[in-house]
């Protein structure tokens, strides 16, 4: 018996059809995941179920049965009872979904008053119980705090508490872990999994992360261009994805086995919602397309084990191993922008070309040498704004980056990674410490003295749209750096066009504005702008966070090619361990402003010694669904304004004792390059 049954749901926005004939069922206590790239219609489907569509959109047809009631036929007053009371929803961005002028407690009580008989003190007591249920520490105090006072993980938990206030029978979670740290992501996923198992609540999970699907799903629905193209139990889907689109999503995943090789990419992009299709919607990006694929809509075909696929091919895709690190499918894909792996193993491909073989070996002279870097921001209070303390964002960081190599700086949000990267480039002036670029001390130089050095070091920011001037054309954005730092370089227009082609875009795109590009294309433009002044060092701040796996593969391939051809050095700031495993030569793990473990990628990722590193690796959702051995991290990172005594990690460390609370641990060396700050290592 299904709690939710969706049949042929279609949503139109004028001539566009973002959802076109979607059907699926969800049983009580079951987790059904909608998987696909951005623009495939996943979120629009969820909004259609809740009848929360934007004004221009309308449900053009279909049926949505919830607990035996047709939702599309209910009046708005009836839907108000369903929303929150029968179906709860967790939106993708809690910061924009929570009311910034109401306390957390007031927002939960509001939901309780709408969907229960609780009022006053009883409602507040129940709100406190809900905060405790979702794992928020000190829930009584948090009731009176505002959303801006909470971290991203805590805000997401508050959203879950509000959704649970009405005791829903179905919970819709729209990308609930996008851009969250792996530790917070693990906590949120464990919470959702426990709730559905203990309360029998059904879960519709929307995501583009295959690791999250493997961790959570009972059944998987793969969505592309407004339609479901595959529907399968989790085990069958990960053992043998049947649709060519599903296979390419697996092939685009970065991992250690693909180190030194190229990731498979999917050519082109998801077609716009107003495009008309006579046949298969994936045909323009499919390497196996036949004539029938262009002219006839593929029918659903049943495969053994309850798996269904919408594809004309009798054997749509060869078997793919579920585990990360196993070879990808060996069938040929189109060459060019979407080129994939040829019929070679990944390791053979790596010997042919790739970052591992082309990077300059580690030498004795580092390109970037950072010693005891500190960035403290004063806390000012009172009428005279006197400094009463300091936020120790970076508190004694030391690292070295060799020419032509990639150093990954990893850690949770708030540990100081981005601040450290900006301080190295002197975009933020350090409080203390040393930063040397090719032997030149940067911290003692004035702005005028730094200007000629800017061409040697550039940064690719996390949000390319926010970092690109919306009033300038792309060609002018790229040329701006050349005109400022290399005025004798001559005409910048041909160079800008060449750079666009270098990063995989067309030269005629130089006349467009940033808003005319997709997220992946904007990231390529940001990389082209950084390359315009021929730097030796690129600091990449989360350049692939929140990108679809196919777009992420394109960016990682581009960075790999650029490093091989231009001998660039990368400081890669990220919390995505899979990307680190694929791209990085060396890794530094950062916690509360300091590096707690560093070494080669193999040393840190294969033989981690610090409890924090082990917890980070254990929290990463794996495509094979396996769990790490280390316990998941509890709680949140302490405030950098008041760091704990001794080892900063001891409040969250399961192995901490009195000695850990007494003094900050000295560095201990293991193997060739591994350095760990832990007395238990």
Q: What is the pLDDT of residues 407-448, one digit of tens each?
A: 999 998 888 999 999 999 999 999 999 999 999 999 999 999
Assess whether 19 and 155 both reside in one domain.
yes
Give the pLDDT score at 676. Answer: 97
Report the alpha-carbon distance of residue 452 to residue 446 in Å, rounded: 11
Q: How does strand 569-574 pair with strand 406-410?
A: parallel
Domain assignment of residue 580, yes or no: no
Assess whether 208 and 318 both reside in one domain.
no
**Could you say which of 331, 354, 377 is where a domain stops?**
354
Domain assignment of residue 102, yes or no: yes
**pLDDT by residue (tens digit) across 507-540?**
999 999 998 887 788 889 999 999 999 999 999 9
Contacts of 312 (CB under 8 A, 6+ apart): 280, 290, 292, 293, 296, 298
Report the alpha-carbon distance of residue 299 to residue 229 in Å, rounded: 10
E strands within 146-201? 170-174
Q: Which two tokens stand for residue 178?
A: 């996008």
Residue listed under structure tokens 């939106």: 91
DSSP single-letter state for residue 416: S
- Compute the C-alpha angle 534/540/544, nearest 5°: 125
> Total structural domains in the chain?
2
Q: Find out whether 677 and 664 touch, Cβ atoms under 8 Å.
A: yes
3-state DSSP helix/strand/coil percent for the chain, to nearest 5?
A: 35, 20, 40
Least confidently predicted of 275-279, 431-435, 477-481, 490-494: 490-494
Of 258 and 43, more confident: 43
Could you tell me how far CA 218 lies from the centroid of its own chain? 22
**pLDDT by residue (tens digit) across 348-405?**
333 333 344 334 454 568 999 999 999 999 999 888 889 888 999 999 999 999 999 9
Edge-first strand listing for the sheet containing 219-224: 87-90, 170-174, 202-207, 31-35, 219-224, 227-233, 307-310, 300-303
- Compute the C-alpha angle 78/82/86, nearest 5°: 150
Of the candidates 513, 593, 577, the one whose C-alpha atom is nearest the C-alpha of residue 545 is 577
Assess whether 245 and 205 both reside in one domain.
no
Assess whether 58 and 192 both reside in one domain.
yes
pLDDT band at residue 330 using 50, 70 and 90 as cut-offs: very low
Assess whether 28 and 151 both reside in one domain.
yes
Domain assignment of residue 527, yes or no: no
Q: Residue 293: how many CA atoms within 13 Å on its side-chain side?
A: 19
Edge-first strand listing for the sheet containing 674-676: 457-460, 537-541, 569-574, 406-410, 586-591, 594-600, 674-676, 668-670
Of 318 and 156, more confident: 156
Assess whether 288 and 176 both reside in one domain.
no
Domain assignment of residue 157, yes or no: yes
- Environment class of residue 73 by beta-carbon count within 10 Å: exposed (0-12), middle (13-18) or buried (19+)? exposed
**pLDDT by residue (tens digit) across 608-622?**
999 999 999 988 888
Assess whether 138 and 185 both reside in one domain.
yes
Q: Find out whether 575 and 540 touch, Cβ atoms under 8 Å.
A: no
Assess whether 18 and 152 both reside in one domain.
yes
- Compute the C-alpha angle 470/529/359, nearest 5°: 145
Query: Which CATH number characterizes residue 101's domain?
Result: 3.40.50.300
Of the candidates 51, 195, 77, 211, the one whose C-alpha atom is nearest the C-alpha of residue 203 is 195
Report the alpha-carbon distance of residue 275 to residue 472 in Å, rounded: 29
Report the alpha-carbon distance of residue 106 to residue 123 in Å, rounded: 10
Report the alpha-carbon distance of residue 131 to residue 23 in Å, rounded: 35
Contacts of 321 (CB under 8 A, 6+ apart): 327
Percent of the chain residues topping a pLDDT of 90: 62
- Does pLDDT of 217 surpass 90? yes
**Could you say which of 354, 384, 418 is where a domain stops?**
354
Give the pLDDT score at 342. Answer: 32
Domain assignment of residue 557, yes or no: no
Assess whether 90 and 204 both reside in one domain.
yes
Domain assignment of residue 87, yes or no: yes
Of the candidates 478, 536, 487, the one whose C-alpha atom is nearest the C-alpha of residue 505 is 478
Q: Find out whether 48 and 206 touch, Cβ atoms under 8 Å.
A: no
Average pLDDT over residues 471-498: 88
Q: Which domain holds residue 334?
A: 237-354
Assess whether 62 and 204 both reside in one domain.
yes
Assess whether 153 and 61 both reside in one domain.
yes
Q: Strand pairing partners for 387?
A: 380
At 201, give phi and psi (nearest 5°).
-80, 135
Domain assignment of residue 526, yes or no: no
Assess whether 45 and 151 both reside in one domain.
yes
Report the alpha-carbon distance of residue 112 to residue 122 in Å, rounded: 10
Domain assignment of residue 648, yes or no: no
Q: Strand pairing partners for 559?
A: none
Q: Find out whether 330 and 318 touch, Cβ atoms under 8 Å.
A: yes
**Distance of CA 315 to CAs 240, 334, 389, Å?**
11, 19, 66
**Could you say which of 354, 388, 404 is where a domain stops?**
354
Helix (H) or strand (E) holding 12: strand 4-13
pLDDT band at residue 344 using 50, 70 and 90 as cut-offs: very low
Report the alpha-carbon distance of residue 84 to residue 166 in Å, rounded: 5
pLDDT band at residue 118 using 50, 70 and 90 as cut-offs: very high
């Amino acid at each position: 018996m299904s709690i939710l049954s969706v049949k042929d749901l279609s949503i139109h926005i004028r001539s566009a059809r973002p959802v076109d004939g979607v059907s699926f069922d969800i049983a009580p206590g079951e987790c059904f995941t909608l998987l696909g790239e951005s623009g495939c219609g996943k979120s629009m489907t969820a909004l259609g179920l809740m009848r929360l569509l934007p004004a221009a959109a309308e449900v053009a047809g279909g049926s949505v049965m919830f607990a035996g009631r047709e939702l599309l036929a209910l009046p708005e007053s009836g839907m108000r009872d369903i929303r929150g009371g029968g179906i709860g929803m967790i939106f993708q961005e809690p910061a924009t979904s929570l009311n910034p002028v109401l306390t957390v407690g007031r927002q939960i009580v509001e939901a309780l008053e709408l969907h229960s008989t609780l009022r006053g003190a009883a409602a507040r007591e129940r709100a406190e119980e809900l905060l405790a249920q979702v794992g928020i520490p000190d829930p009584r105090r948090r009731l009176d705090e505002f959303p801006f006072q909470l971290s991203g993980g805590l805000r997401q938990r508050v959203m879950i508490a509000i959704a649970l206030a009405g005791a829903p029978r179905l919970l819709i979670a729209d990308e609930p872990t996008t851009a969250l740290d792996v530790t917070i992501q693990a906590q949120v996923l464990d919470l959702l999994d426990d709730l559905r198992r203990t309360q029998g609540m059904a879960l519709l999970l929307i995501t583009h992360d295959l690791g999250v699907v493997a961790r959570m799903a009972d059944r998987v629905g793969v969505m592309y261009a407004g339609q479901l193209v595959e529907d399968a139990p989790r085990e069958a889907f990960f053992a043998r994805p049947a649709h060519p689109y599903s296979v390419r999503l697996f092939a685009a995943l970065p991992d250690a086995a693909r180190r030194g090789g190229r990731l498979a990419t999917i050519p082109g992009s998801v077609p716009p919602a107003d495009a008309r299709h006579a046949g298969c919607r994936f045909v323009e990006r499919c390497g196996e397309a036949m004539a029938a694929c262009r002219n006839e809509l593929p029918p659903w075909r049943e495969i053994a084990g309850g798996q269904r696929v919408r594809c004309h091919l009798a054997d749509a895709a060869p078997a793919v191993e579920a585990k990360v690190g196993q070879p990808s499918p060996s069938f040929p894909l189109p060459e060019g922008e979407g080129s994939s792996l040829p019929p070679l193993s990944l390791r053979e491909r790596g010997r042919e070309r790739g970052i591992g073989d082309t990077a300059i070996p580690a030498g004795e002279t580092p390109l970037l040498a950072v010693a005891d870097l500190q960035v403290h921001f004063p806390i000012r209070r009172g009428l005279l704004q006197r400094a009463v303390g300091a936020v120790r964002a970076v508190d004694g960081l030391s690292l070295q980056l060799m020419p032509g190599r990639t150093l990954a700086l990893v850690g949770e949000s708030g540990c100081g990674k981005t601040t450290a990267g900006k301080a190295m480039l002197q975009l933020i002036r350090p409080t203390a410490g040393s930063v040397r670029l090719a032997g030149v001390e940067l911290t003692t130089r004035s702005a005028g003295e730094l200007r000629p050095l800017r061409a040697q070091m550039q940064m690719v920011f996390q949000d390319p749209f926010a970092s690109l001037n919306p009033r300038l054309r792309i060609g002018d954005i790229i040329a701006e750096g050349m005109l400022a730092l290399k005025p004798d370089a001559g005409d910048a227009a041909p160079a800008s066009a060449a750079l666009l082609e270098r990063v995989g875009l067309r030269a005629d795109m130089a006349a467009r504005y940033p808003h005319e590009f997709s997220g992946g294309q904007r990231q390529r433009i940001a990389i082209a702008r950084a390359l315009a002044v021929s730097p030796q060092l690129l600091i990449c701040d989360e350049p692939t966070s929140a990108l679809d796996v196919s777009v992420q593969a394109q960016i990682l391939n581009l960075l790999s090619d650029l490093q091989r051809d231009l001998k660039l050095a990368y400081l890669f700031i990220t919390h995505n361990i899979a990307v680190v495993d694929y791209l990085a030569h060396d890794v530094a793990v950062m916690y509360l402003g300091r590096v707690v473990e560093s070494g080669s990628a193999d040393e840190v990722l294969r033989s981690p010694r610090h409890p924090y590193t082990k917890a980070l690796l254990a929290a990463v959702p794996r495509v094979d669904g396996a769990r790490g051995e280390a316990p998941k991290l509890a709680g949140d990172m302490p405030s950098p304004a008041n760091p704990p005594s001794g080892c900063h990690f001891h409040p969250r460390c399961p192995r901490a004792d009195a000695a850990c609370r007494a003094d900050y641990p000295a560095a201990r060396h293991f193997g060739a390059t591994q350095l760990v700050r832990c007395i238990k290592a």
